Amino acid sequence: MSAFDTNPFADPVDVNPFQDPSVTQLTHPPQGGLDEFNPFSETPRLTNVAPTTVPIAQPTAPSQPAVLQPSVEPTPKSVASAAQAGLLQQQEELERKAAELDRKERELKSSAANLNVRQNNWPPLPQKFPIKSCFYQDFSADIPADYQQTCKMLYYLWMLHSVTLFLNLLACLAWFCGDSSRGVDFGLSILWFMLFTPCAFLCWYRPIYKAFRSDNSFSFFVFFFVFFCQIAIYIIQTVGIPGWGDSGWIAALSVLNPKISLAIPIIMMVVAGFFTLCSILSLFLLKRVHALYRRTGASFQQAQEEFSQGILTNRNFRNAASGVAASAARGAFQGN
């Protein structure tokens, strides 16, 4: 019957929802599978059960028992020892680097010394001469440009000093030839020439050369002290006291005697003029060197430090001091 034949105004029919075929099929499954199952048959007759695949179990490593590691905290003693070991290692590394730098510095100095070998060139003597040069002198290489002119003037003053002493010897010889009682003056003039010529070079010229070369305060003080004494000697020689071996103005004027040749006092006056020139140049150069010295900023305290360092680093002085100390200790031990 068509759905249109139903009466929409009729009473509704009681419908049991649990009688629906879909619900009954789910709540009452067919039991045929379990009834027909024979466990002793060769082939199972279950068709609605899908075969399941069981994976092969992988071999597992034997499990180790869990071990709890104890917590270790560093003690202050271990920390201090580790820090001390680190400091010792750093100190060894620094000492090794210092030794390496010292070795390289010595190598550089030795190589520089081998490349720039400075042979002594003063006094200029022939190569075949049995006596060799004793000093090295080179104004352009050793002396700064600001001091070269003053240093050369002092060198020329020393040369004038040597020539003047030689002329004084000749003048005293002429004086001795004209007056036989002047043998003492002639002998002293020889002594002054042989003594003052090298002493002036060593005692005041070389110190000022070293002072200008290395800006050494101690060498400056040595020069000032010795050169001041040299100026005093120049003044005495210029005066020319008879019997002192100097043909100065007094000695030259005392020879003006009709019994003695006029050439002798003239020669002595020339030598007195040389002594006067040396005195004037010495005063001028002393003032000039003092001005240069003040400009360098040197001081007496610095000179003392340089002197003490030079004495302490001198090998001969250290050997002599150790010998004196050893002999004193030996004497004290034997006395006891």
pLDDT of residue 169: 96
pLDDT-based confidence at 229, cuts 50/70/90? very high
pLDDT-based confidence at 117, cuts 50/70/90? low
pLDDT of residue 79: 75
Quote the mean pLDDT of the chain.
77
54 lies in a domain?
no
**Structural domain that includes position 181:** 147-315
pLDDT-based confidence at 315, cuts 50/70/90? low
pLDDT of residue 327: 61
**130-142 confidence digits (pLDDT tens):** 888 889 999 998 8
1 lies in a domain?
no
The residue-averaged pLDDT of 103-112 equals: 75
Q: Is the pTM of this model over 0.85?
A: no
pLDDT of residue 312: 47
pLDDT of residue 125: 83
**52-77 confidence digits (pLDDT tens):** 555 555 555 455 555 555 555 667 77
pLDDT over 90, % of the chain = 37
Task: Encode the chain in three state secondary structure.
Answer: CCHHHCCCCCCCCCCCHHHCHHHHHHHCCCCHHHHCCCCCCCCCCCCCCCCCCCCCCCCCCCCCCCCCCCCCCCCHHHHHHHHHHHHHHHHHHHHHHHHHHHHHHHHHHHHHHHHCCCCCCECCCCCCCCCCCCECCCHHHHCCHHHHHHHHHHHHHHHHHHHHHHHHHHHHHHHHHHCHHHHHHHHHHHHHHHHHHHHHHHHHHHHHHHHHHHCCHHHHHHHHHHHHHHHHHHHHHHHCCCCCCCCCHHHHHHCCCCCCCCHHHHHHHHHHHHHHHHHHHHHHHHHHHHHHHHHHCCCHHHHHHHHHHHHHCCHHHHHHHHHHHHHHHHHHHHHC
pLDDT exceeds cutoff 90 at 297? no
Higher pLDDT, 295 or 288: 288
pLDDT of residue 317: 44
**262-279 confidence digits (pLDDT tens):** 999 999 999 999 999 999
pLDDT of residue 199: 95
pLDDT of residue 49: 47
pLDDT exceeds cutoff 90 at 19? no
311 lies in a domain?
yes
pLDDT of residue 47: 46
64 lies in a domain?
no
Higher pLDDT, 106 or 55: 106
53 lies in a domain?
no
124 lies in a domain?
no
295 lies in a domain?
yes
pLDDT-based confidence at 92, cuts 50/70/90? confident
Number of domains within the chain: 1
pLDDT of residue 245: 93
205 lies in a domain?
yes
